[in-house]
A and B are shown apart, each in its own frame.
Chain A
Amino acid sequence: MLKFQNFKKLYGGFPALKVDELSIDPGIYWIKGVNGSGKSTLLKSIAGILAFEGDILLDNSISIKKQPVEYRKLVNFAEAEPIFPEFLTGKELIALFAQAKEAQAGQEQHYIDTMQMQAYVNRPVGTYSSGMLKKLSLVLAFMGKPKLILLDEPLITIDTASLKILNSWIAERYNQEGTSFLLSSHQALEHAELPIARELIVEDQTFKFIV
């Protein structure tokens, strides 16, 4: 599903991450790593937000460098600590993402309802608490028909009840549409609720399967 080719991310001339050759099959993955190991850097690179050397291919054919638009249509991302323009409402942001990611009309309603965001989704995000903002960023990451969804630290700032709902969303998308997930977290994930395939780790400036 995802293939790294001579991936190299430098920070101020020093290699922060280096992945020569790595293929990841479709599935749900837990990316482990201590603070500062580079989990967010890795996910932001895969999302097309951070620049890097080398290439990343989706389904062996869509290159992040050569087909930037197609690639971004199929890879969605939710940041660990999301930031949006304060003056936009949740609904306006959802509309923006839905249009860009070519979501079906009304796709967001299921997510807004299950996460119980109806009360504030029409308010400007400047008035949101960090948990509300996090939930909104998760909804945005599920817009459209992505083949891969990257969630950076999805467990932080949201309450346990919402966490269960998020797990149900992930399971649903994986079972119905075969969407793959890369979830980064330094805490353990709920294996009971998630059909977790494998674990990956970011350490020693590289990214690999845990053997």
Chain B
Amino acid sequence: MHQPLTKVLLKIFAGGFYQVHAAILLVVFFIMVGAVPGNMLITYHKSLMLAMTSSPIMLLLVLAVWLIYIFKSWHYVSTQIFAPDKQFLFYSSTALNRSEQRKSWCYAQAAILAPVIIYALLAVGVGLAHHFYVLPAVIILFLSAMIWCSAALYMRVMNGLVDGSKQSFLLRWSSKWRKPYFSLYIYHIFDDKKVPYFITKGLSWLIISGVFYLFADVSTDTRLAGIAILAVITAHVVLIFEERRFEETKLSFARNLPISRFRLFLNFAGVYFFLLLPEIVWLFSRFHPLMAVELLLAGLSIALLFHSMLYWFGLNMDKYLQWILGLFMVLFWVIMFRLLWALIPLNLVIAYLFFYNNYYRYQGVVGKE
């Protein structure tokens, strides 16, 4: 534990991981604590832990959830390793012998998995107290193996030589295609933002099945579909924000290109059409074509509204989320009053005005108050 490398890795990767994921971890914590009434909290978790240590199916489900967390940590650490301010690790940590490196990485990974480990140990305790021995042993083995594998993975990345020529599959595959301006946003998503894209699509799927499961009795109501589409687009806020960030950081030269604002706006509609393709397939397979078109246009108009607002106040995530929340509530009630069709032109006009008036008003990466 007193290894200098351990300290550095803990500070950089474990500390960094919690800093970046503090919000989402807090949400999960509140869901786990707040989902049940206070007086039943302990019995609830105790029975959950008992189920984990007695039922293999239940344990499998829990391990699957933990695996998602572990994948997330792999993704975080392996991208952070290549950040410019961590480059020094390539010519310092690699000089230590491998067992010392492994030990330090194991500590770092264990620290990242601390919430899982603490919950797992409690579950093992509960299981043992009820004389279950096999599944608690499986839990301990699983987590130890995962920590060891993670350390091995990070060491492989760290000790392998950097191959600067790697390119994602899509880009190698598309190297012969022309790349018009608006397609750059799509390539960016599939080059650099695959994880947020697939998380968003997963969320989208959960929303759609959740809404129609909960309201199965009124599942043919346009309002329900409208609200599902609103929620789906809201799930895309991270991608929409990333598109704007990409435009601001990597495409700032584009303001010098002679492309009219109307065409740019249409281009963005094209970008979101493309990103929403999986949802569009669902819309047309489930609803009457006319209704599917209405829902699609409503979805696109909401996405463009969310996108265009960012030109107004810049890349300020806090402010953005507040606005999205407010707009969500307003749009929700508009849809409840059966005015989905009216939303389409309204959203588009407001979005275009925001876009038209602010596109050339460059405010820098973070908008000033």
B55 within 8 A of A: no
Let me know if A87 and B187 touch, CB within 8 A: yes
Q: Is the CB of A72 within 8 A of B258?
A: yes
CA distance A99 to B258 in the complex (A): 10
B94 interfacial by beta-carbon distance below 8 Å = no
- A83 engages B252 (CB within 8 Å): yes
State whether B249 touches A87 (Cβ < 8 A).
no
| Contact with B179, one of A77, A88, A100, A127 (Cβ below 8 angstroms) | A88
Docked Cα-Cα span, A195 to B171, in Å, equals 44
From 20 to 72 in chain A, residues with beta carbon under 8 angstroms from any chain B beta carbon are 47-51, 68-72
Q: Could you tell me the distance between the alpha carbons of A124 and B191 in the complex, rounded to whole angstroms?
A: 12
Determine the distance from Cα of A49 to Cα of B251 in the docked complex, in whole angstroms: 11
> Closest approach, in angstroms, between the C-beta of B163 and any C-beta of chain A?
11
Q: Determine which residue in A48, A85, A86, A126 has the highest number of CB atoms from chain B within 10 A of its CB, and name it.
A: A85
Task: Check if A49 sits within 8 Å of B256, measured CB to CB.
Answer: yes
Cα–Cα, bound, A79→B250 (Å): 12
Do most interface residues of chain A lie in helix, strand or loop, or is the interface mixed? mixed
B246 interface residue (CB < 8 Å to A): yes
Q: Which residues of B are found within 8 Å of A70, using beta-carbon distances?
A: 258
Q: Chain B, 165-188, contact with A by CB distance < 8 Å: what is the 0/1 string? A: 101100100010011110010011
- A180 interface residue per 8 A CB criterion: no
CB-defined contacts of B192 to chain A, threshold 8 Å = 87
Tell me if A84 and B253 are in contact (CB < 8 A): yes
Of B180, B184, B362, the contact of A50 (CB 8 Å cutoff) = B362
A3 interface contact, C-beta 8 A: no
Contact with A along B242-274 (1 / 0, CB 8 A): 000010011111011111110000000000000
- A48 / chain B contacts, CB cutoff of 8 Å: 255-256, 360
Given contacts A51-B360, A87-B188, A124-B167, contact A96 B258 (CB under 8 A): no
Interface size grouping (class) on chain A:
35 or more
Q: Is B84 an interface residue (CB 8 A)?
A: no
Given contacts A49-B362, A50-B362, A127-B164, contact A72 B256 (CB under 8 A): yes
Our pick among B175, B191, B256 for the contact of A76 (Cβ within 8 Å) is B256
Could you say which residues of chain B place their CB within 8 Å of the CB of A106? Answer: none
**SS class, residues of chain B in contact with chain A:** loop
Interface centre among B165, B184, B256, B257 (most CB of A within 10 A): B256
Contacts of A169 in B (CB 8 A): none
> From A72, which residue of chain B is reached at the shortest CB distance?
B258
Contact: B246 with A100, CB < 8 Å? no
Q: Which residue of A lies closest to B164 (CB)?
A: A127
Residues of A within 8 Å of B256, CB to CB, are 47-49, 72, 75-77
For residue B360, which residues in chain A have a CB less than 8 angstroms away from its CB? 48, 51, 68
Known: A12-B368, A51-B360, A101-B257. Is A95-B175 also a contact (CB below 8 A)?
no
Question: Could you say which residues of chain B place their CB within 8 Å of the CB of A73?
Answer: 258
Can you name the residue of chain A whose Cβ is closest to the Cβ of B261?
A68
Q: Is A199 an interface residue (CB 8 A)?
A: no
Minimum CB–CB distance for B42 against chain A, Å: 51
List of A residues within 8 angstroms of B188 by Cβ: 85, 87
**Which 3 A-B pairs have CB atoms at the shortest separation, nearest pair first?**
A72-B258, A73-B258, A51-B361
11 A–B contact pairs at CB < 8 A? Answer: A49-B253, A49-B362, A51-B361, A68-B258, A70-B258, A76-B256, A96-B179, A96-B180, A96-B181, A97-B257, A99-B180
